[in-house]
Amino acid sequence: VSISDFLTLFSCRTGADWFWTSSPAPILLLAGFIALSTSTILALVWPASYPDGIYTLGLGRRQPYMLVVYIWLYCLVWWLIQDIFKVLAYKLLTHLNLFGFNDTGMVVHTHSDDLHINIHTPPHSPRHNHTNTTNNNNNMNNHREEYSDIKDDISNETTGLLVGSYCDDDIL
């Protein structure tokens, strides 16, 4: 699970593009190397034990000794398949404008089209008026009310989707 989960990060960070079209940031590569190496080493050398009452023994302590290689190959093959389906899904969303994807850049719940909140505008950006403290407090309360309305709308609905991905390109 650790291998497939971390590989998914490398796929999802590129959005509609193939995972190899954009180099990941060095910090992500380092984190990936540390996480994948550590999980693989632990899976290989884990001593015989009973965590949660289940007998566990490291992959390197029993046959087939090549099982770790097969697990890595399995994860890599499914990672490529996952990336293919990701790119195809984006192409389908764009081509058919499913869920208004071309209008917003994300799949939008049909009942939330009229609700908008900008959660990515920093509080000290030029778009905010800081000359009047009362005005700023009113703006914050309005944003809280809008967020509350969106949250209530999402939790009360059983159909439709509100899915968006927000990434900081400097990190990923």
Is 14 in contact with 22 (CB distance < 8 Å)?
Answer: yes
The 3-state DSSP class for residue 17 equals: coil
pLDDT at 172: 47
pLDDT at 130: 42
pLDDT at 145: 54
Closest to 168 in 3D by CA, of 52, 69, 25, 45: 25
pLDDT at 83: 95
Distance from C-alpha of 61 to C-alpha of 48, rounded to nearest angstrom: 9
Binned at pLDDT 50, 70 and 90, residue 2 comes out as confident
Closest to 150 in 3D by CA, of 111, 120, 122, 121: 111
List pLDDT tens digits, range 36-74: 999 999 999 999 999 999 999 999 898 998 999 999 999
pLDDT at 26: 95
pLDDT at 135: 46
List pLDDT tens digits, range 113-150: 454 444 444 444 444 444 444 444 444 445 455 545 55
How many residues can be counted in the chain? 172
Share of the chain above pLDDT 90, in %: 42
Pick the more confident residue, 161 or 46.
Answer: 46
Distance from C-alpha of 148 to C-alpha of 159, rounded to nearest angstrom: 19
Can you spell out the DSSP letters for 73-142?
Answer: HHHHHHHHHHHHHHHHHHHHHHHHTGGGHHHHSSB--GGGTT----TTS-TTSTTS--S-HHHHHHHHHH
Is 3 in contact with 36 (CB distance < 8 Å)?
Answer: yes
pTM reported for the whole predicted model: 0.58
Binned at pLDDT 50, 70 and 90, residue 166 comes out as very low
pLDDT at 70: 95
